[in-house]
Each structure stands twice: as C-alpha cells, then as structure tokens.
Amino acid sequence: MERAGWLSDGRRIALFLSMAEEIDTGPLMARARARGCRIHLPRVTDYRRNLMRFFASGTGLVRGQYGILEPVAGLPIKASQLDVVLMPLVGFDARGNRIGMGKGYYDRALAFRRGRPRLKLPLLVGLAFECQRAEALPVHAHDVSLDRLVTETATRRFR
C-alpha cells in the first residue's frame, strides 16, 4: 500500500474477511491492528433489501447466509464515519469502476459518495488480483467507484 497513512493510529478502517478466492486480508488486518487502527467489518443486516452495515471487530464472528464470516453483535458505525473502506470485487477497470458479487451491498452502504468526487472520506479502496482487470465495465447510476485499487503488483489512483 502507499504511504498515505491509510493505516495510521486511530483510523477507522472497514475491512472484509476474505474468502478463499479473494486476496487474503488477514495480514492487512494484523498490520492495521498493530498500528492502532480501529477495524470494522461488514454484516448483512437485511437480506431482503440487500443492506449491510459496518460493526467493530472483536465481538465474535458467525457465518452469514452467504457463508461469509460477519461480526455477531455491537453498535454499527455509519459508513460516512469511516476513514478507509477496503472492499472486495470480482472485476475492475482502468477508470476505477468495480463489479462485486451482484447484490449491491457496498453501493448501497456507500451511496452518499455517489456523484460527490470532492468528498474525500472514506477513501474507497478495492483489493483484487491483476487477473480481475477488465478493459471496461458497464456503469450504472447506483454504482460507487473506487478512489484506489491495490493488487499484488500495483496501486492505482482514480479521479
């Protein structure tokens, strides 16, 4: 990652617990904790309306409906109160567009960032493998694009 202080003491970082086919976020989480970051994890709060919120880690984990580990309890934090949101994706393009698993959880949670490029927080960072790069992705009105993307070989800035 870059030297932008993403993992500085006291930062509120949203991070996902990776599945087997995703970049392993375990070392990143350990590094963030060692640097004094406050870690928040996504939890689906409404499967019917495809809504998720972020909760402080450390409350225990349970597998959600999709088999993803999620925090058991705690008070949610508003996404707008986070400093950095590190998110998974299925594909990305050179303009910072991302495609996820198709339910729009991150797009809904981060909708306040849509169409507001001057809004600097939270910094939206995708984590992916280079092989997930696409020439161009379709963009829909509800999509929230990335500020940065980190792969095993590069860090890209968008906007």
Domains defined for the chain, CATH in brackets: 12-39+80-157 (3.40.50.10420)
Q: Which of 4-8, 33-37, 53-57 has the lowest mean pLDDT?
A: 4-8
Whether the CB-CB separation of 1 and 11 falls below 8 Å is answered with no
In this predicted model, which residue has the larger pLDDT, 23 or 102?
23
Which of the pair, 137 or 20, is modelled with greater confidence?
137
Distance CA 120, CA 147 (A): 9
Say yes or no to pLDDT of 2 above 60: no
CA distances from residue 139 to 88, 97, 98 in whole angstroms, order as listed = 17, 7, 9
How much is the pLDDT for 20?
Answer: 86
- Type and span of the H or E element at 29: helix 26-34
Mean pLDDT across 43-63:
92
- What integer pLDDT is reported at residue 3 of this predicted model? 45
pLDDT of residue 1 exceeding 50, the answer is no
| Ramachandran sector of residue 157 (left: φ over 0; alpha: ψ -120 to 50; beta: rest) | beta
